[in-house]
Homo-oligomer: A and B are copies of this chain.
C-alpha cells in the first residue's frame, strides 16, 4: 500500500506540471459583485442543494453553507435576504435539497422549497428534469434533483454537442452523457444504478465510504472524518476551503484534520503517526479518482464521447480522473471562470435571461 501511494504521489505531481491545472480556491461566502449596479433589474440563478445555497447573478455569486436538514425552516427568510441583497424579484431555481431528511418525502420537499421561493421572489421559474422552465410545480417528482439538467441544457444552448458533463460538488458527483441530447436517467435512484450519480464529493463525504480499509484495518463507520479532512491533509484544498461543519465541531487546521483521519481506524495521530495519516489521505483520494475514472471511461466508450466538461469545487479531482481514464478534460473554470463552482446556478441565470 505505501509503495502504491508514494508512486502515485510522484506520478500525480508530475502530471500536475504537465496539465498546469489552475486549481482555483474558493471561499465560504464570496460576493465579488459591485456594490453599485446599473438600473435594470437583473435575474438570479439559484441552486438549492442539501448543504449549500448557490446564487449566481451577472455581477457575482455566492455559495452559502446552509444545511437544509436543520435549517429548512429558515429557507424562506434566507431567500428573502438574497432577493433584497441583489435587489431582484426574478429567479431561476433548481434543487436537490428535497432529499434532506427534514422532509417526509421528496415530493413534500419540492413543494416546501418551491413555496419558499415563490414567497421570496415575485417571478420564479423552476426547471423540470425534461429541461422545461415552469412557473408552477405541476408534478413535484419532475422537479427533484434537476440541477444537472440546467448545466447540460445550457451547454447545449452554447452549441456544445457531444460531451460527458462531470460536476463534483461538496457531496455528490453528476456524470451526464450528452449526445445532442441528455442521455442520463431522470431520477436519482436510476442515476445511482447507472453510475450517473456517484454519491461522493470533495467536502462532506464520510471517509469510510470512499476508502474501505487502511493497512488491512476496515475504517470505522462513525462520523469521524470527511473528505474535506482528506483534501486539507493532501494539500489539495486550503483550510478556508473547508466550508462545511467539521465532524467533531473542532477546527480546520491540517493537524486537526489529521487527528480526525487517524480516528477512522480507531487510532490517533500519536499512535499512527503523521506519515501514515498522510498515506491514508492519499489512498482515500486515489480511491475516489479510481472510481471516477472507471465511470468516465465506461460512459465515454458507450456513448462514443471524447471530451469531458469538468466543473464544481471538485474540478481538480475530475481532471486527475480524466488523466487516469485517458479522456480529454475541459475545465469549465477556463470557459466560465469561478462560475464553475456553482455551474447549475449560473446555467439557470443564463436560461432565465434567455427565455
Chain A residues in the interface with B (C-beta under 8 A): 50, 69, 99, 101-102, 104-107, 141, 145, 171, 187-190, 192-193, 197-200, 205-206, 208-209, 215-218, 220-224, 247-248, 250, 259-260, 263, 265-272
Contact = CB atoms under 8 A, between A and B. Distances in A.
Nearest to A144: B266
A207 to B, nearest CB: 10
B220 A223 contact: no
Nearest to A192: B217
Contacts of A145: 266
A267 B99 CA distance: 8
B99 A270 contact: no
B265 A192 contact: yes
Nearest to A189: B267
A89 to B, nearest CB: 33
A105 B248 contact: no
Given A69-B248, A101-B260, A209-B208, A271 B189 contact: yes
Given A105-B270, A268-B105, A270-B107, A221 B248 contact: no
A190 to B, nearest CB: 8
Contact of A189 (B50, B104, B217, B221): B217
A30 to B, nearest CB: 26
Given A208-B209, A221-B209, A104 B259 contact: yes
B216 A193 contact: yes
14 contacts: A99-B263, A101-B247, A105-B268, A105-B270, A106-B271, A187-B267, A187-B271, A189-B267, A189-B272, A192-B218, A197-B266, A199-B220, A199-B222, A200-B221
